[in-house]
A and B are shown apart, each in its own frame.
Chain A
Amino acid sequence: MKPNKAIALASVIVAVLLTGCGRQIPPSATPVPARRVDHTPVGSFALVYDPTRATPLMADDVGIWRWAGGWEPLGPSAPSGVTALALDPERPETLFAAGVGVGVLRSEDGGQTWAASSEGLPNPSVTALALHSYRSKTLLAWVQGQGIYRTENGGRRWERMPDPGPPDKHVRGLVHSDLPGSMNTGWLYASTPTGVYLSMDCF
């Protein structure tokens, strides 16, 4: 990363609001076969490793899939249009999915059913999602045209963070790191068309 692409940003402590869960998401408009292992991924992809199943999970334009020597549907009602996935390592049955037009979705049963988890987000245009490196109920999301949002209660309520984000606002991925040296709990990397940007997680 070029030196001028490393940025450190101001700190603000944000109050946490605990509110209710989201609504249930109906099955996707395009029915997904109960089991198919020859699926060819379509469109944009997101990948996350599931340590319980010891295999990668993948989201594409059509649905969410698990690798079993071929791609098979993760569940009967996987949402479409997902471009970001996150998995709670302490509770691997808890999955998060996000995308533009999707917002944030949460599954508590390994992807069998999904519920909206977007309360507090200004719109459903979420382009990136990251789980905190050691606080499993803290996630960060990039909302297109808005900025960084954070939840500290597993997606029940999101709040805007003061961090303005990287100079390139076309954020396509976020990842949290517990690399030492932060003023707070770690660092946040953002992937963009112009490179990788690093911000101190001090909000």
Chain B
Amino acid sequence: MGSLPIDPMVRSVIVDPVDPKRVYAAGAAGLFLSDDAGLTWRPASGEWSSDPVGLSLDPTSPNRLFVILSDGSLWGSENAGSNWKPLGAGAEGNE
């Protein structure tokens, strides 16, 4: 656990509606996850070739995350950012 990188260029931040201590921040330094309302952060990025710039979650299932990268690709996670897979035609098995 630790701080966000210096000048992380954060573009998007979201909060888990069920566990409001859980916060996600996405930007040029990657995706980060906090379980203490932003006091400390840990990386939660996938194997991405570009920066995460947009971030959302399913409020009915908050571990289900979506990220859009600066290259326009959409990625999904079913386990709060532990694993990511690209979405879209032909994406299956491309984890």
Contact = CB atoms under 8 A, between A and B. Distances in A.
Nearest to B28: A193
Interface in B20-72: 20-21, 23, 25, 27, 34, 37-41, 53-60, 66-68, 70, 72
Contact of A175 (B11, B14, B53): B14
Q: Interface size bucket, B side?
A: 35 or more
Contacts of A196: 4, 10, 13, 23, 25, 38
B24 to A, nearest CB: 10
A3 B4 CA distance: 11
B11 A1 contact: no
Interface in A17-70: 40-42, 44-49, 51, 54, 56, 58, 60, 67, 69-70
A192 B25 CA distance: 10
Nearest to A176: B15
B20 A47 contact: no
Contact of A6 (B38, B41, B68, B87): B38
Given A40-B72, A133-B15, 13 more contacts: A6-B39, A45-B54, A46-B54, A47-B66, A47-B67, A51-B58, A69-B87, A70-B88, A89-B59, A175-B15, A179-B21, A191-B27, A192-B10
**Top 4 A-B residue pairs of the complex, sorted by shortest distance between their CB atoms:** A47-B54, A41-B72, A191-B10, A179-B20
